[in-house]
């Protein structure tokens, strides 16, 4: 017994429903979790990254807010002087100059600083003018000039920078922009030990320290900060581009939003936009500085902010892709291992259905499938043995039946030839005729069974020699004329014009012709026609047996040459037969190197044709 060779992997890849289903399951079970996990990981990474960005930006803003508030607190703290006496009287004029000079030296942000009278009587009952500057120090390059000359001093009684501190409140003015940078006016009351306001100290303060701090501020590599005053003008920004301090940005919706007190934390979708300053997509945050009403904005170019995350994200994507690739490559391999044995069993079963018990399935998986393979092979061996027994039985039975049939036939012919036959009554003659017919059928059955048994045992012998095909064919036709005449069927033989030598066994060819012609007569109604004719081909002679009989429906044609197969249809009910004739005919023709086929149409008739090799062709 040979084994079924494993169908190649690529054949397998081409098509198998079980495989496709397994691959689908496999991919669904292994790739889906990876995809879902990858997706969730990406989502979480993105989420936490967004939060990190937001945290960093908000932190930077808070730090800058704190810095700015501290600057103001410190600067105002310096201005809020408290003198060491109890009287209402102001600082004596001679001391004022020294105080101013000291303050200027102490704090380089002060560009101008002046004492202002708050009105009322001073010592010696000298009245003072409210809002009038008394002394002033001005920074000019590296020197500080002190002014006490009343003509060079101004009266600022109407300005908030005087009225606020005169009421006891510190004052922070609007930012204004000079060539040396943004400035702001700060003023504060000067109090004595009784907490009386005795004067006002007002200073023009340079914001260059804040400007520098904002300019230097960075988030990531390219993230930056912008500081605007409460009117939306730029106090300071990262320093790139054309924007100068004082540029009005109130037209920008984000600037307006910040100044209106909206908190922008870089988390929302609206916090990702194209920057007015850089022209690139950024993620931004913003906040209003509560006490002074300025606005701080942070912008971080997205590609810079995402740079770190891109690495992580790429790694996750790469991991997911790699895993899916592995699943796609390994999946079919695993499934191949799983499905291949099943396919082998399927092929094995098909072979058994065809009657081929020789092939064994070869499954080596070391598991239940291998056990199933062994069980399958045992079953195949069992079936083979069963078939052999059946063939043996048919052969022995047919062989042993032949002798009594021959004896009966002999005695029947002796009786029919005996003179005493004349003395039999018509009834007895009729019975004898019936017995004779039954015995003929039995003889044919036994003969067919023996032939089948021989064919299965490979014991059909044909002895071919060159013979004029016309002889055995016309002999067979003549032999069946009376059978045709019984049904008024016209049986025609269109012989060949010249002798054509075919390589055949004469007796077998007659057997074939008798089978085909008697079938044509049997399966045709009365008055039909049966035509036998040849066709000469270069290397063979084709013989056709054509009838105008019942025909065979298409769906019943497939198994016509199988043994014991008989077409069941109403027209042929009651017609006797074994279903062995065509099987034997095919065996014999194949043995003689020919082929047989047929065409049939239900209700119109059939044509059975077979080819036989020409003798001279064979001898070449
Ligand atoms: P059987 O002994 O039944 O005639 P065969 O093997 O000779 O067995 O034929 C098998 C079956 O094929 C027949 O039972 C018949 O139904 C069908 N058959 C054979 N020859 C013809 C034909 N010429 N026309 C119609 N049916 C045919």
How many angstroms separate the alpha carbon of residue 568 from the centre of ligand 1?
10
Cα distance between residue 183 and residue 208, in whole Å:
8
Looking at residue 415, its pLDDT comes to 86
pLDDT in tens, 364-375: 888 899 999 999
Cα distance between residue 113 and residue 479, in whole Å:
148
Average pLDDT, the chain: 87
Ligand 1: nearest atom to the Cα of 547: 23
How many angstroms separate the alpha carbon of residue 444 from the centre of ligand 1?
15
Ligand 1: nearest atom to the Cα of 520: 23
Ligand 1: nearest atom to the Cα of 582: 6
Cα distance between residue 367 and residue 374, in whole Å:
11
How many angstroms separate the alpha carbon of residue 607 from the centre of ligand 1?
12
Looking at residue 6, its pLDDT comes to 47
Which residue has a Cα nearest atom 7 of ligand 1?
A: 581
> 533: pLDDT confidence band, cut at 50, 70 and 90?
very high
Cα distance between residue 220 and residue 216, in whole Å:
12
Which residue has a Cα nearest atom 21 of ligand 1?
A: 519
How many angstroms separate the alpha carbon of residue 519 from the centre of ligand 1?
6
Tokens encoding 437: 């017919």
Reply yes or no on whether the pLDDT at 619 is more than 60. no
How, if at all, do strands 120-121 and 133-140 pair? unpaired
> 359: pLDDT confidence band, cut at 50, 70 and 90?
confident
Ligand 1 surroundings by CB, under 6 angstroms: 519-520, 523, 547, 549-550, 552, 560, 566-567, 572, 577-583, 606
Mean pLDDT along residues 292-318: 87
Ligand 1: nearest atom to the Cα of 583: 6
Nearest to 594 by CA among 509, 498, 533, 531: 509
Domain 465-613 has CATH 3.30.565.10: yes
How many angstroms separate the alpha carbon of residue 614 from the centre of ligand 1?
28
Reply yes or no on whether the pLDDT at 130 is more than 90. no
Looking at residue 241, its pLDDT comes to 65
Mean pLDDT along residues 479-489: 95
Which residue has a Cα nearest atom 14 of ligand 1?
A: 566
Which residue has a Cα nearest atom 18 of ligand 1?
A: 519
pLDDT in tens, 234-245: 998 886 666 788
Considering the chain, what percentage of its residues have pLDDT values greater than 90?
45
> 484: pLDDT confidence band, cut at 50, 70 and 90?
very high
Query: Do 80-204 and 465-613 fold alike per CATH?
Result: no
Looking at residue 14, its pLDDT comes to 57
CATH fold of 368-456 reads Helix Hairpins (1.10.287)
Question: Hey, how many other C-beta atoms are within 10 angstroms of the C-beta on 121?
Answer: 11
Cα distance between residue 247 and residue 386, in whole Å:
106
- Cβ atoms of 530 and 545 within 8 Å: the answer is yes
How many angstroms separate the alpha carbon of residue 567 from the centre of ligand 1?
7
Most ligand 1 atoms within 8 A of CB, residue of 519, 563, 573, 578 to mutate: 519
> 458: pLDDT confidence band, cut at 50, 70 and 90?
confident
Which residue has a Cα nearest atom 23 of ligand 1?
A: 520
What CATH number is given for 52-71+211-307 in this structure? 3.30.450.20
Mean pLDDT along residues 172-199: 89
Most ligand 1 atoms within 8 A of CB, residue of 532, 577, 604 to mutate: 577
Measured over the CA atoms of residue 335, residue 341, residue 343 and residue 346, the dihedral's sign is: negative
Question: Hey, how many other C-beta atoms are within 10 angstroms of the C-beta on 114?
Answer: 23
Most ligand 1 atoms within 8 A of CB, residue of 444, 452, 523, 568 to mutate: 523
CA distance readout (Å), 476 to 341, 469, 497, 516, 609: 53, 11, 18, 10, 16
- Cβ atoms of 264 and 224 within 8 Å: the answer is no
Looking at residue 565, its pLDDT comes to 93
Helix (H) or strand (E) holding 297: strand 295-301
Mean pLDDT along residues 113-127: 71
How many angstroms separate the alpha carbon of residue 605 from the centre of ligand 1?
12
DSSP assignments along 585-620, one per residue: HHHHHHHTT--EEEEEETTTEEEEEEEEEBHHHHH-
How many angstroms separate the alpha carbon of residue 276 from the centre of ligand 1?
95
Q: How many residues does the chain have?
A: 620
Looking at residue 80, its pLDDT comes to 86
Nearest to 559 by CA among 573, 543, 579, 576: 579
Reply yes or no on whether the pLDDT at 588 is more than 90. yes
Nearest to 586 by CA among 595, 577, 578: 595
> 511: pLDDT confidence band, cut at 50, 70 and 90?
very high
How many angstroms separate the alpha carbon of residue 549 from the centre of ligand 1?
11
- Cβ atoms of 177 and 211 within 8 Å: the answer is no
How many angstroms separate the alpha carbon of residue 529 from the centre of ligand 1?
17
Tokens encoding 339: 């499905």
Helices (H), 146-283: 160-166, 208-216, 253-259
How many angstroms separate the alpha carbon of residue 564 from the centre of ligand 1?
10
Ligand 1: nearest atom to the Cα of 572: 16
CATH class of the structural domain 80-204: alpha beta
- Cβ atoms of 415 and 432 within 8 Å: the answer is yes
Nearest to 132 by CA among 168, 156, 159: 156
3-state SS, residue 491: strand
- The residues spanned by each domain of the chain are 52-71+211-307, 80-204, 368-456, 465-613
Helix (H) or strand (E) holding 200: strand 197-206
């Amino acid at each position: 017994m040979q084994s079924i060779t494993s169908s190649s992997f690529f054949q397998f890849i081409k098509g198998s429903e079980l495989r496709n289903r397994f691959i689908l399951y496999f991919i669904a079970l292994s790739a889906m979790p990876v995809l879902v996990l990858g997706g969730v990981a990406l989502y979480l990474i993105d989420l936490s990254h967004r939060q990190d960005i937001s945290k960093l930006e908000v932190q930077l803003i808070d730090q800058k807010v704190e810095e700015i508030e501290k600057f103001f607190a410190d600067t105002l703290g310096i201005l809020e002087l408290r003198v060491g006496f109890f009287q209402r009287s102001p600082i004596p004029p001679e001391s004022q100059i020294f105080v101013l000079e000291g303050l200027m030296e102490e704090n380089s942000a002060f560009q101008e600083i002046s004492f202002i009278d708050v009105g009322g009587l001073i010592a010696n009952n000298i009245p003072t003018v409210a809002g009038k500057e008394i002394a002033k120090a001005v920074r000019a390059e590296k020197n500080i000039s002190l002014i006490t000359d009343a003509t060079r001093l101004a009266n600022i009684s109407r300005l908030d920078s005087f009225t606020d501190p005169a009421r006891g409140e510190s004052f922070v003015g609007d930012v204004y922009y000079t060539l040396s940078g943004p400035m702001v006016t700060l003023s504060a009351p000067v109090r004595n030990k009784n907490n009386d306001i005795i004067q006002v100290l007002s200073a023009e303060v340079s914001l260059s320290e804040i400007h520098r701090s904002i300019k230097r501020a960075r988030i990531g590599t390219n993230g930056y900060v912008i500081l605007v005053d409460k009117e939306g003008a730029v106090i300071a920004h990262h320093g790139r581009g054309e924007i100068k301090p004082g540029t009005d940005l109130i037209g920008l919706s984000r600037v307006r939003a910040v100044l209106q007190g909206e908190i922008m934390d870089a988390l929302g979708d609206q916090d990702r936009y194209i920057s007015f300053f850089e022209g690139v997509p950024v993620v931004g945050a913003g906040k209003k500085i509560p006490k002074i009403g300025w606005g701080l904005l942070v912008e971080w170019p997205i590609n810079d902010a995402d740079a770190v995350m891109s690495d992580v994200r790429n790694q996750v994507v790469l991991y997911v892709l790699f895993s899916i690739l592995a699943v796609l490559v390994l999946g079919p391999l695993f499934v191949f291992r799983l499905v291949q044995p099943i396919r082998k069993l399927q092929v094995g079963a098909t072979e058994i259905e065809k009657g081929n018990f020789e092939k064994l399935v070869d499954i080596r998986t070391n598991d239940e499938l291998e056990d199933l393979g062994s069980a399958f092979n045992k079953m195949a061996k069992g079936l083979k043995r069963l078939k052999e027994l059946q063939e043996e039985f048919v052969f022995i039975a047919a062989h042993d039946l032949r002798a009594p049939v021959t004896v009966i036939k002999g005695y029947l012919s002796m009786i029919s030839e005996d003179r005493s036959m004349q003395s039999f009554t018509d009834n007895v003659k009729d019975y004898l005729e019936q017995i004779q017919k039954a015995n003929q059928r039995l003889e044919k059955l036994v003969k067919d069974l023996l032939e089948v048994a021989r064919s299965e045992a490979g014991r059909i012998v044909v002895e071919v020699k060159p013979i004029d095909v016309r002889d055995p064919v016309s002999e067979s036709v003549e032999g069946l004329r009376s059978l045709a005449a019984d049904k008024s069927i016209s049986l025609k033989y269109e012989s060949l014009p010249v002798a054509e030598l075919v390589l055949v066994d004469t007796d077998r060819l007659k057997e074939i012709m008798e089978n085909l012609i008697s079938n044509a007569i049997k399966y045709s109604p009365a008055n039909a026609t049966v035509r036998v004719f040849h066709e000469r081909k270069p290397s063979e002679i084709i013989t056709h047996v054509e009838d105008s009989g019942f025909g065979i429906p298409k769906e019943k044609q497939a198994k016509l040459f199988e043994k014991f197969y008989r077409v069941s249809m109403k027209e042929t009910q009651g017609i006797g037969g074994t279903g062995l004739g065509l099987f034997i005919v095919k065996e014999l023709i194949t043995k003689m190197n020919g082929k047989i086929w047929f065409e049939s149409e239900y209700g119109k008739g059939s044509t059975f044709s077979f080819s036989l090799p020409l003798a001279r062709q064979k001898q070449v």
